[in-house]
Amino acid sequence: MSISGLFATTRHTARLSVKLFLGVWLLGAPAMAQTPNQSESPILMAQRQISLREGDRGAAVRELQQQLNRNGLFPAAIDGVYGSATTRAVRHFQRIRGLEVSGIADDETLDELGIDLDRLTVGLSHPDHGFINGDSITPTSSSEDIRTLQRVLRMFGFDLDTDGVYGAQTEQAVRAYERTAGLPVDGIADQTTLLDMGFSSDSQNGPGRNNNARPPRSAGSSRSSYGRYVAAIIAGPSQLSNVRQDFPNATVERTSQGEYISIGRFVDHEDADDWADFASELGYEARVLRD
């Protein structure tokens, strides 16, 4: 090819590139002009579209029921379960406020009720007695949450009044439960104690979460810092914060064969095996190791 032919080919290629660039820019320009705020990405905008509907469960639903109750629209039990009674109450509220009547608590309905889901504390739930706000129950907790604790303690045979007061009687019952279950004894129903009682987390952050999984509740637990059998999750230190969402007292341990996360040491192999099975049901790779 001659030098002049090469220059002609180069000029043609350059013109084609400019045309393609202008075409792409023009196609993109109208879309950019229609964007009211370019700092708001589609993902962030989508994240604000939050709704609750029939079949949902948890602290958010409980807050919805409480707000409807304050408006005199929800006479049923506040249990954190979005059932037909909640749907009817939401429809009632929407009809009065002139909103679209769907029975779904969409972002507009939640806003009218003054509910900000981003500020709600993720709680724990009990399969028989509903939800609590937060991951522990203390003397300063709401009377509703304390009554839930008292009802659960009554299931284990404690003779308690469900008065919503975390007094000496409730504290002694918690201490007795902790002592019998082999847990640290302080009389406070912290997350470890509540999980042992059968509560579970609302959080969906765990790996392969199985919401029906129940922690072992054997009264003869042989948990001990001197136990030779370890319920171990096969994962490194980077996963410790995730594991602690389900097992708050989890620790990283090291052996000559590598690292793992311990969720408890036990004198009896059977107890360690129960806890390893529970971790497996939550989606972790777990097994029993022996020192």
pLDDT tens digits along 219-247: 456 778 788 899 999 988 888 877 877 77
Whole-model pTM over 0.75: no
In a domain, 233, yes or no: yes
In a domain, 209, yes or no: no
**More confident site: 59 or 63:** 63
Q: Please check whether residue 274 is in contact with residue 223, taking contact to mean a CB–CB distance below 8 angstroms.
A: no
**Domains: count for the chain:** 3
In a domain, 111, yes or no: yes
Confidence (pLDDT) at 237: 84
Alpha-carbon span 81 to 93, nearest angstrom: 18
Question: What's the whole-number mean pLDDT along residues 104-120?
Answer: 84
Alpha-carbon span 228 to 251, nearest angstrom: 16
Confidence (pLDDT) at 47: 33
- The HSE-up count of residue 124 (CA atoms within 13 Å, CB side) is 24
Question: What's the whole-number mean pLDDT along residues 274-284?
Answer: 85
Alpha-carbon span 98 to 87, nearest angstrom: 16
Confidence (pLDDT) at 102: 94
Question: What's the whole-number mean pLDDT along residues 62-89?
Answer: 87
Question: What's the whole-number mean pLDDT along residues 87-107?
Answer: 94
286 and 269, same domain (yes or no): yes
Closest to 246 measured CA to CA, from 286, 285, 216, 215 = 215
64 and 93, same domain (yes or no): yes
Q: Is the pLDDT confidence value at 55 over 90? A: no
pLDDT tens digits along 31-52: 333 443 433 333 223 233 368 8
Alpha-carbon span 248 to 236, nearest angstrom: 16
Alpha-carbon span 131 to 223, nearest angstrom: 27
What is the residue range of 73's domain?
A: 59-119
Q: Is the pLDDT confidence value at 71 over 70? A: yes
Alpha-carbon span 290 to 47, nearest angstrom: 46
Boundary-marking domain end, from 68, 86, 119:
119
Confidence (pLDDT) at 120: 61
Lowest mean pLDDT among 15-29, 110-124, 193-207, 254-268: 15-29
Confidence (pLDDT) at 24: 42
In sign, the C-alpha dihedral spanning 135, 64, 52, 150 is positive
In a domain, 115, yes or no: yes
136 and 154, same domain (yes or no): yes
Question: What's the whole-number mean pLDDT along residues 203-209?
Answer: 45
Q: Is the pLDDT confidence value at 150 over 80? A: yes
Which amino acid, one-letter code, is at 43?
I
Boundary-marking domain end, from 119, 150, 166:
119
Token pair recorded at residue 138: 């203390």
In sign, the C-alpha dihedral spanning 90, 92, 96, 102 is positive
Alpha-carbon span 83 to 57, nearest angstrom: 9
115 and 138, same domain (yes or no): no
Confidence (pLDDT) at 169: 96
Question: What's the whole-number mean pLDDT along residues 193-203?
Answer: 79
**More confident site: 13 or 255:** 255
Confidence (pLDDT) at 32: 37
Mean pLDDT (the chain) is: 76
CATH code: domain of residue 257: 3.30.70.1070
Alpha-carbon span 148 to 163, nearest angstrom: 10
Question: What's the whole-number mean pLDDT along residues 78-89?
Answer: 86
Q: Please check whether residue 194 is in contact with residue 125, taking contact to mean a CB–CB distance below 8 angstroms.
A: no
In a domain, 204, yes or no: no
Question: What's the whole-number mean pLDDT along residues 273-288?
Answer: 87
175 and 156, same domain (yes or no): yes
Confidence (pLDDT) at 218: 52
Confidence (pLDDT) at 215: 64
**More confident site: 58 or 172:** 172
